[in-house]
């Protein structure tokens, strides 16, 4: 049995009839609808004629639209002059124009989904695309349609300040002024007020500075210290395996050296500590994904599923430059730009903070002062642009190569869209246990443009 494509004929007629009744509405309709949103060819031709008249700053009425259609030899295709007169009878007033537009858009989106899924189906039967790339392409096409559906209208200042007041009242009773997720590091929380929903945070460093260890410490503390120990954390590790990361976490939690966990040469007391650490970590809601060559679409799809199950509060990506790029990007800079932008969009869509680790360029090594700068972000300035917070890890004793390293680490807050920047926080990093400990002192730097 043949099936017809979904559309609302009466709604299409009502939109065009509303423009005849009140030509000023054409501007609003043009903002909301495209030609392809209309199903009937005659309606598309009439809408285009109306838009042409508007662009030429001419009146929109029956005579002018009929003349415009006639010039293109489209009047008969559009139903003739009588049909133009009949359109005004399809709608008594413009009071419900928004509803008519929504009905037209709804039918259009359904048809676009049918079209896209049909192409996806056909490509699955005939194409030679690799399976993961095929899945990513399918999700990207559907997500693009979903984004179109979610396009929002302007919000008034009155509406927004009411939301601000509600959020302020909700945060009023939170202890210590922490309005986001507690990171477990008091000095960092004092600057950020916790990890905030919708924020993309970048933690960048040269290799061997401890950025993965810092991220794992933060993941444990977020899971422990929020929602009564029930906060959910997702970790995407593209550099190390799940077992390697879990071993680091266990070392920090159990107070047993990394090397001993790796070798298995533990004393009876250390075995007890290990068991205690395992019991502590076993209670936490932390999930791992160490898929190789993962694309940003894969990360987004998995996070979206967790969010739908109410099992996502914080995301860690280790690290950004290892995410597989988009084949359509012209070069690596464009790939990284697309990836960082997608991570920011994901944070906003899912309303969770995302901590993405990033490599710094080798330019750091060439300077006398090895402290990182925003210009050192590797491969793309868009990372700095997309991020709400940019932090750098710097270990001074890494470059001095002293026999007895101090373990002092600086966390430099280079960018903070919602708060204080140009601040260096002090930490102690115990490499044997992959453990960071916050120190009280901090330095406020004068940032230079």
Q: What is the pLDDT of residues 45-80, one digit of tens each?
A: 999 999 988 888 889 988 899 999 999 899 999 988
Q: Are strands 200-205 and 232-237 parallel, antiparallel or unpaired?
A: unpaired
Cβ neighbours, 10 Å, residue 48: 17
pLDDT of residue 41: 93
341 sits in which H/E element: helix 332-350
- Domain residue extents for the chain: 1-153, 178-444
Confidence of residue 148 (pLDDT cuts 50, 70, 90): low
288 - beta bridge partners? Answer: 235
- Contact yes or no for 143/346 (Cβ under 8 A): no
When mean pLDDT is compared across 143-147, 150-154, 376-380, the lowest value belongs to 150-154
Q: pLDDT for 279-290, tens place per residue?
A: 888 888 988 888
Mind telling me the catalytic residues? 239
Q: Which two tokens stand for residue 398?
A: 């890494």
Mean pLDDT of the 196-204 span: 90
Cβ neighbours, 10 Å, residue 428: 13
pLDDT of residue 406: 76
pLDDT of residue 446: 44
Confidence of residue 174 (pLDDT cuts 50, 70, 90): low
Is a pLDDT exceeding 80 seen at residue 247? Answer: yes
- Count the residues in the chain: 449
For domain 178-444, the question of CATH label 3.40.50.300 is answered with yes
Three-state secondary-structure class, residue 150: coil
Confidence of residue 193 (pLDDT cuts 50, 70, 90): confident
- Return the HEC string of 366-387: HCCCCCCCHHHECCCCHHHHHC
For domain 1-153, the question of CATH label 1.10.860.10 is answered with yes
């Amino acid at each position: 049995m043949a099936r017809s494509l979904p559309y609302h004929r009466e709604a299409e007629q009502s939109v065009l009839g509303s423009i005849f009744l009140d030509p000023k509405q054409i501007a609003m309709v043009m903002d909301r609808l495209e030609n392809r949103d209309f199903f009937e060819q005659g309606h598309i031709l009439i809408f285009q004629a109306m838009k042409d008249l508007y662009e030429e700053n001419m009146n929109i009425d029956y005579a002018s639209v009929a003349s415009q259609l006639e010039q293109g030899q489209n009047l008969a295709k559009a139903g003739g002059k009588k049909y133009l007169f009949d359109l005004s009878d399809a709608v008594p007033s413009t009071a419900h124009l928004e509803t008519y537009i929504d009905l037209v858009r709804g039918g259009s989106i359904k048809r676009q989904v049918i079209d896209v899924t049909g192409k996806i189906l056909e490509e699955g039967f005939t194409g030679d695309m690799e399976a993961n790339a095929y899945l990513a392409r399918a999700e990207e096409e559907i997500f693009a349609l979903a984004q179109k559906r979610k396009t929002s209208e302007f919000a008034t200042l009155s509406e927004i300040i009411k939301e601000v007041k509600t959020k302020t009242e909700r945060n009023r009773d939170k202890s210590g002024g922490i309005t986001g997720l507690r990171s477990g590091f008091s000095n960092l929380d004092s600057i950020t007020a916790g990890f905030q929903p919708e924020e993309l945070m970048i933690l960048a460093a040269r290799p061997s500075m401890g950025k993965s260890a810092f991220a794992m410490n933060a993941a444990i503390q977020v899971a422990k210290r929020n929602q009564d120990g029930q906060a959910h954390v997702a970790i995407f590790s593209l550099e190390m395996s799940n077992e390697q990361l879990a071993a680091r976490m266990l070392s920090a939690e159990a107070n047993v050296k990394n090397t001993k966990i790796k070798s298995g040469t533990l004393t009876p007391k250390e075995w007890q500590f290990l068991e205690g650490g395992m019991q502590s970590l076993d209670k936490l809601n932390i999930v791992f994904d160490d898929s190789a060559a993962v694309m940003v679409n894969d990360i987004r799809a998995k996070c979206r599923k967790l969010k739908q199950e109410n099992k996502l509060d914080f995301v860690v990506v280790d690290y950004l430059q290892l995410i597989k790029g988009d084949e359509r990007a012209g070069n690596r800079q464009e790939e990284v730009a697309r990836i960082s932008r997608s991570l920011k969009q994901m944070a906003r869509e899912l309303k969770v903070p995302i901590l993405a680790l990033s490599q710094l360029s080798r330019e750091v090594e060439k300077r006398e002062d090895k402290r990182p700068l925003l210009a050192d972000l590797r491969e793309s300035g868009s990372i700095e642009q997309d991020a709400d917070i940019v932090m750098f890890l710097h270990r001074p004793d890494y470059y001095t190569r002293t026999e007895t390293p101090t373990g002092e680490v600086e966390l430099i807050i280079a960018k903070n869209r919602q708060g204080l920047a140009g601040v260096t926080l002090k930490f102690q990093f115990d490499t044997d246990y992959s453990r960071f400990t916050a120190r009280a002192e901090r330095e406020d730097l004068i940032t230079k443009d």
